[in-house]
A and B are shown apart, each in its own frame.
Chain A
Amino acid sequence: MGKLWLICIASISILLPFLCNAFSPETPTDRRVLVLLDDFAIMSSHSLYFNALKSRGFDLEFKLADDPKIALQRYGQYLYDALILFCPSVERFGGSIDVAAIVNFVDSGHDLIVAADVNASDLIREVGTECGVDFDEDPSAMVIDHIGYAVSGTEGDHTLIASDDFIKSDVILGGKKIEAPILFRGIGHAVSPANSLVLKVLSASPSAYSANPKSKLSTPPPLTGSAISLVSIVQARNNARLLITGSLSMFSNRFFRSGVQKAGSQIKHEKSGNEQFLTEISKWIFHERGHLKAVNVKHHRVGETDEPALYRINDELEYAVEIYEWSGTSWEPYVANDVQLQFYMMSPYVLKTLSSDKKGLYSTSFKVPDVYGVFQFKVEHQKLGYTSLSLSKQIPVRPYRHNEYERFIPAAYPYYGAAFSMMAGFFIFSFAHLYSK
């Protein structure tokens, strides 16, 4: 018996690594990340970033991008929860990985970080295109900014940019303001205006442009000004999260540790904002922030506690839902004041903002409309940086039954009175008619 248990436990512990899946509310921890590199030297030159991830409990597995043994899945099970592509120059992935495999990986809800760089390979550009961003097509183009560059004694070509045009979102960049500008050296990309899932997290300044710094500019640059995105994120419809940037060196220890002074500014920051920015954004990418779950959806008539099978028109009802946010270690109450409930049949009949008790419980009460049919309780919560919540619950609404209408209508009393007085008259008349002599 004891042996059997041992075998059981052993087999479970062997199988466990292969059972990992995308982020799910049930098993949000213990996440395995595959890091594909051009060269193992990146492990040491970018070690601060990797250590920051490791210290948060991620299990990083480093492989060369052209390693013939790499694979994302085995026997239909994904081996990793997230993929980091720090291999801007790889022409062809090794093993079974290709662009389609990466797209499938993301389509099944896994996260992805892509860093391109100057002379990025077509493969990495293709991955970028699949993610919804277009890198500058000129292979030797870089983002140049002659006004917003980082002052440096040794870098004179203004391709080292100090950028501080962040997206205004606490959930993506953390509650603490990023004081120091971000050092960036690499290629810019454009975000397709038709794609509503891609967000520019870090934009270039209006004076920036994307061109080859070594050759003369004869045609207008394809990307200019704040349309250039330096770092973009994508939140797919399945809540997979992606980070795309045109600079691998912005993750490097050198940029993390380097001081930064933006041209024209007197403030010299001891340390660039890269570490804070990239660490905070990686928390978002790996769902340590902004991932919501809704539980305990409840609705009932006012004064009751059980959920009815259907409502009657004009019923007063109460609706409550609990919403929690994943903090990396536990589910914390989600505090917001813009969660809205719709009572919906073809179009919303009632749309009401839920009131929160600041402990995750959102509730409201309203009167069922005087229209009967099959309604839905819908909570469609979409907020910048948060996963979208989409709850819907079907509930029929019936009209009054025949005996539920008002019985004694004062306006009808004269009619009742007339009928009853006639009946009384008839009763008296029957005596008078039959027995009067």
Chain B
Amino acid sequence: MPTNLNFEMARSLVGFTVLLLFLSICESASFFQPISDSHRSAAVELFSPDHGSLKSLEETYEALRTFDVLGIEKKPDVTATACRLVSETVGSSSSTLKNVFYALKANSIVKCKINDKAYQGIITRLNAAVDGASSLPDFYYSVGGLVLVKGSKGDVHLADADGIFRSVKAFRQSDGRWRSSSSNPESSAFAAGIALETLAGVVSLASPELDQSLISTLNNDISKLFDSIEKYDDGALYFDDKLVDGHDHQGPLATTSSVVRGLTAFAAVTDERLNIPSNKILGLANFFLGIGVPGDAKDLFNQIDSLACLESNRVSIPLILSLPSTVLSVTKEDLLQVNVNTVLGSNAPPLTVKLVGVFTSGSKAASLVESQELVFDDGTGMYNLKNLPKSIDVGSYTFVFEIVLHELEHEKIYITGGQKKVPIFVSGLIKIENAEIAVLDSDLGSIETQKKLDLAGQNAVSLSANHLQKLRVSFKLTTPHGLAFKPHQALLKLRHESKVEHIFVVGNSGKQFEIVLNFLGLVEKFFYLSGRYDIELAVGDAVMENSLLLAIGHIELDLPEPPEKATRPPPQPVDPYSRYGPKAEITHIFRAPEKRPPKELSLAFLGLTFLPLLGFLIGLLLLGVNLKNFPSNAVPATFATLFHVSIGAVLSLYVLFWLKLDLFQTLKLLGFLGVILVLVGHRVLSHLASTSAKLKSA
């Protein structure tokens, strides 16, 4: 059956992890504190209408019950809302059985006014429901409802109690667990709790007494159920249903709570003493107390309600030994105080608390003190140990206490759980003396420089050494009782400028602590980094009240140059703040414009360029240039005019080219003008040539 095996493995693994986790949660409190004010403030916070709870009757009942148990004054608005809900539910015939049940439960706390007629209606309804019930919850709600009605009216009884008892018992399984209905094959401890509570109701409602043999068989079932109880390492016991289908899985708290409710209800109605070892009851109480303050309204209700059931149960009432403080200071002469309460924090019966022994943690040596009784202080209600025994110095100890009840009768009612081991830290001021720091010469061990240190105040030693020398730091620690003290943390730290750190454990011989750093052997470890090293000394322990972390000063180290193959120092973390942040702005540097002469100069030279033209014109005038050769005939004159106009056009085209035209436009126009110019020019020039030839020949 591989699947089965897997399942078994998973189960055991879950159990194991549950255990580990639970330990890690409440490791700090290896003894359990009774209910305290933190539960009260949590209850007020969790069960507030604006927190979203108190919507249904069930939640309203849970709130009322928790407030009731914790002794919190009910807020008027909660009571009013509850009463409104209760009367609505009770008065209406359409409300579900579950709601009627919780309405009656809430009513048993707030005591609303319900008229007789409504009660009669409910009794008939519930009786009918009992007769027609087919599943465990149906029986639970209807029988429970009748019990509650009996509580306030007093004249309710079941006619066929035997029959109902038998039909409820039909859901029983052989292992002590119960099924919730005949169609559901899964049996659970959760259902067992409900069944026990229902049967307790049946017993109390039976008008002729029930057959005792029926009840005593049930006693056996309860013992069987307790065989399946699970255990944490610290002594807490709980029930858990490991269902394959986590669908309606209730969780250990709800399951255990259900069993406790059923068990105490059943114990209350039966005359027989239930056959349950009383330390199991203590284990259950430890389970509920170990949870601390739940953050969920339902969990808080389950915890508080179960503890309330245990507080007044008929099997055995657990007494919880707790210490307000497990850290005692020798220097402040703290009192060792012990509290013994019931789970809800109320006073215990007369008893004596004995300190049986004190053992050093982790050693098997005999007790350090003789057995003695603690003195009861009426004012605080606590048991005090006046003075810590002389033999107890600073350190961590295990104190063993025992509760002895004064009256024999009480031993049957209460369970104290035998001897109780409590780890206790005794702290004190440690004397630090002879603190010195010195630089030694390697060969001779002679002291080159030596400085005294004041480890209680400020120090700013400045030393220098090379790799052939040694650094020695020494100090002496004594406890208030004058004994040697070995702190857990005695570390010397050298930190180079580049933040490379080196840590050394300072060893001791007796009271004297000393560390000698031989730099020759440490050169490689120091990565051949010369320069300034800050020296820090940390001495601390859990029981040392004056733990210190002290910057002693610095030492300037002169180490040889690193060889080529020397290891590089490891990279140091980069400061995250400097890694981000805006970068420096960059603006582009544009090319500088070409250097140009001033405009005036250019204009002056522009004027100069026209001077030759002017000279040319003057020269022409001086030469007496005329236009006598201009053709006189109309046709050649026209061509001559056209010729010069086109020359002028080409020249102005050049001006236009400069002003706006581009090369292609210019060339296009120039081609057109050129053709005209050539044709016209040819006619004019040939005419002029022929005229001059005639003149010559004439």
Residues of A bordering B, CB below 8 Å: 38-48, 51, 64-66, 68, 87-91, 94, 117-119, 144, 146-147, 152-158, 160, 167-168, 185, 191, 193-194, 196, 199-200, 206-207, 209, 211, 213-214, 216-221, 224-225, 227, 248-249, 252-254, 256-257, 314, 338, 340, 342-343, 348-353, 366-367, 369-371, 382-384, 403, 409-414, 416-432, 434-437
B153 interface contact, C-beta 8 A: no
Q: Is the CB of A217 within 8 A of B542?
A: no
Known: A157-B396, A214-B362. 10 other contacts (CB 8 A): A38-B18, A44-B253, A154-B327, A156-B427, A196-B579, A227-B501, A417-B605, A417-B610, A421-B610, A430-B647
Contact between B293 and A253, CB atoms less than 8 A apart = yes
**In the complex, B608 has a CB within 8 A of chain A:** yes
User: Count of B residues near A, CB < 8 Å?
Assistant: 109
- Contact partner of B489 among A46, A87, A146, CB < 8 A? A146
Closest residue of chain B to A371 (Cβ to Cβ) is: B588
**A248–B327 contact, CB under 8 A?**
no
With A47-B296, A153-B327, A420-B655 as contacts: A38 and B628 at CB distance below 8 Å? no
> How many angstroms from the CA of A44 to the CA of B256 in the assembled complex?
15
Residues of B within 8 A of A185 (CB): 28
Q: Name the residue on B nearest A200 (C-beta).
A: B576
Return the chain A residue nearest B303 by Cβ. Answer: A44
A219 to chain B, nearest CB (A): 7
Stretch of B131-139, B453-461, B565-573 contacting A (4+ beta carbons < 8 Å): B565-573
With a CB–CB cut-off of 8 A, which chain B residues contact A144? 488-489, 542
CB of B91 within 8 Å of the partner chain: no
Contact B540 A154 (CB under 8 A): no
Contacts of A422 in B (CB 8 A): 613
Determine which of B296, B326, B501 lies in contact with A153 in the assembled complex, contact meaning CB atoms within 8 Å. B326
Flag whether B20 is at the interface (Cβ < 8 A).
Answer: yes
Q: Are B20 and A41 in contact (CB under 8 A)?
A: no
CB distance A416 to B658 under 8 Å? yes
Question: B495: nearest residue on chain A (CB-CB)?
Answer: A225
Q: How far is the CA of A366 from the CA of B640 in the complex (A)?
A: 61
With both beta carbons as reference points, the residue of chain A lying nearest to B576 in the complex is identified as A199
Q: Hey, which chain A residues are within 8 Å of B327, CB to CB?
A: 152-156
Nearest chain A CB to B387 CB, angstrom units: 20
**Is B28's CB under 8 angstroms from A384's CB?**
no
Inside 8 A of B295's CB, which chain A residues have their CB? 44-48, 51, 253, 256
Flag if B590 contacts A157 (CB, 8 Å).
no
Q: Is the beta-carbon distance between A421 and B609 smaller than 8 angstroms?
A: yes
B438 CB to nearest A CB, Å = 22
Is A384 a contact partner of B577 (Cβ separation < 8 A)? yes
CB-based nearest A residue for B490: A217
Point out the residues of chain A lying under 8 angstroms from B587, CB to CB.
350, 352, 366
Q: State whether A413 touches B605 (Cβ < 8 A).
A: yes
**Distance, CA A337 to CA B490, complexed state (A):** 48
A435 near B586: Cβ-Cβ < 8 Å: no
CB proximity of B169 to chain A, nearest CB, Å: 31
Verify if B13 is at the interface (C-beta below 8 Å from A).
Answer: yes
Q: How far is the CA of A155 from the CA of B543 in the complex (A)?
A: 11
A136 to chain B, nearest CB (A): 14
Among B10, B574, B586, B591, point to the contact of A348 (Cβ < 8 A). B586
B606 touches A39 (CB 8 A): no
CB contacts under 8 Å to A, within B573-606, are 573-574, 576-577, 579-588, 590-591, 596-597, 599, 602-603, 605-606
In the assembled complex, 15 residue pairs joining A and B whose CB atoms fall closer than 8 Å, in A order, are A94-B10, A146-B544, A207-B540, A214-B362, A220-B491, A220-B503, A348-B586, A351-B583, A352-B586, A403-B662, A414-B609, A421-B613, A428-B620, A435-B630, A436-B629
Alpha-carbon separation in the docked complex, A76 to B637 (Å)? 99
List chain B residues, Cβ under 8 A from A227. Answer: 501, 573
Given known A-B contacts A146-B489, A154-B323, A338 and B571 have beta carbons under 8 A apart: no
The answer on a CB contact under 8 Å between B610 and A146 is no
- Whether the Cβ atoms of A253 and B603 lie closer than 8 Å is no
Q: Which of A89, A224, A425, A437 is B17 in contact with, Cβ under 8 Å?
A: A89
Residues of chain A contacted by B549 (CB below 8 angstroms): 147, 206-207
**When the two chains form their complex, are residues B570 and A168 in contact, meaning their CB atoms are under 8 A apart?**
no
Given A48-B295, A384-B576, A414-B608: A213 and B14 interface contact (C-beta under 8 Å): no
Known contacts A352-B585, A384-B580; A421/B612 CB under 8 A? yes
Given A154-B29, A253-B292, A352-B585, CB of A118 within 8 Å of CB of B251: no
